[in-house]
Amino acid sequence: MSPLFPTESAPPANEQLEEGAWLLRGFATPDVPALITEISHIHEVSPFRHLVTPSGHTMSVAMTNCGRVGWVSDRRGYRYDPIDPDTAQPWPPFPALFLDLAARAAEAAGFPHYVPDACLINRYVPSAKLSLHQDKDENDAYAPIVSVSIGLAATFQWGGRRRADPVRRMLLESGDIVVWGGPARFVYHGVSPLKPGEHPLTGPTRLNLTFRKVF
Ligand code: SIN
Ligand code: FE2
């Protein structure tokens, strides 16, 4: 039974953004310290780097990957590569916690049996941003993107299926997860320039994991 007097400690409500898309507030909060430890281990093997887009622009967000393949960009284009071009070695494997968290979040959003094969890890410092884009380099057009926010809060942009569609803005805080798949799989999304701040676990930084089913 729900309490007669809701308290401040009541879990934050999940929000359906549209069919196939959910914002799961605080879903990863208990796992955030362990996620940060895993990211630092991945960074020791495959360090964060600023990729160059096909048009020659250096991205403000620093990136690395773990999993069977990793998302990379250079003058030749965007692609998934089983080899980290910076180390000439495979990307670090998925930590068990990553797979477990991604599967639990996908299931909570209506996508059971989710087994991603890539995880792009983004690192934002103040003013870093990600312009409005669709994730469309994956072969699987149904399985969701599972996006986990860690550290400083950021303004997430949630648009429509066309670039010119209206864009909603929402604050994503550490521990929040956004899941979009099925009918929402190709929604345009982005991240506004990060505002300066200090987070107890990540300092002046925001980290983000996006899980993808590539094959
Ligand atoms: C992405 O679209 O790949 C990342 C989104 C985010 O950082 O929240
Ligand atoms: Fe994306």
Taking 80 as the threshold, does the pLDDT of residue 12 lie above it?
no
Q: What angle do CA 182, 187, 191 make, to 5 degrees?
A: 130
- Alpha-carbon gap, residue 166 to 162, rounded angstroms: 9
Q: Closest Cα to atom 3, ligand 1: which residue?
A: 210
Which class for 80: exposed (0-12), middle (13-18), buried (19 or more C-beta within 10 A)? buried
Angle of helix 32-45 relative to helix 96-108, nearest 10 degrees, comes to: 130
Taking 80 as the threshold, does the pLDDT of residue 1 lie above it?
no
Among the bound ligands, name the one nearest to the CA of residue 133.
Answer: 2
Q: pTM (2 decimals)?
A: 0.94
Mutate to test the pocket of ligand 1, among 78, 133, 191 (most ligand atoms within 8 A of CB): 191
Confidence of residue 13 (pLDDT cuts 50, 70, 90): confident
Q: What is the pLDDT of residues 161-190, one digit of tens each?
A: 999 999 999 999 999 999 999 999 999 999
- Res 10: pLDDT: 66
| Amino acid symbol at 161 | R
Taking residue 161's Cβ as centre, other Cβ atoms within 10 Å add up to 12
Ramachandran angles phi, psi of 103, nearest 5°: -65, -40
- Residue spans of the domains in the chain: they are 14-212
Task: Give 3-state DSSP helix, strand, coil % of the chain, rounded to 5.
Answer: 15, 35, 50
Q: List, in sequence order, the alpha helices (H) in 46-182.
A: 96-108
> 7: CA distance to ligand 1 center in Å?
32
- Res 161: pLDDT: 97
> 10: CA distance to ligand 2 center in Å?
30
Segment 38-66 shows an average pLDDT of 98
> 135: CA distance to ligand 1 center in Å?
10
Q: What is the pLDDT of residues 121-130, one digit of tens each?
A: 999 999 999 9
Q: Going by CATH, does the domain composed of 14-212 fall within 2.60.40.2140?
A: no
Arithmetic mean of pLDDT over the chain: 96
> 4: CA distance to ligand 1 center in Å?
38
What percent of the chain has a predicted confidence (pLDDT) above 70?
96
What percent of the chain has a predicted confidence (pLDDT) above 90?
94
Contacts of 53 (CB under 8 A, 6+ apart): 59, 73
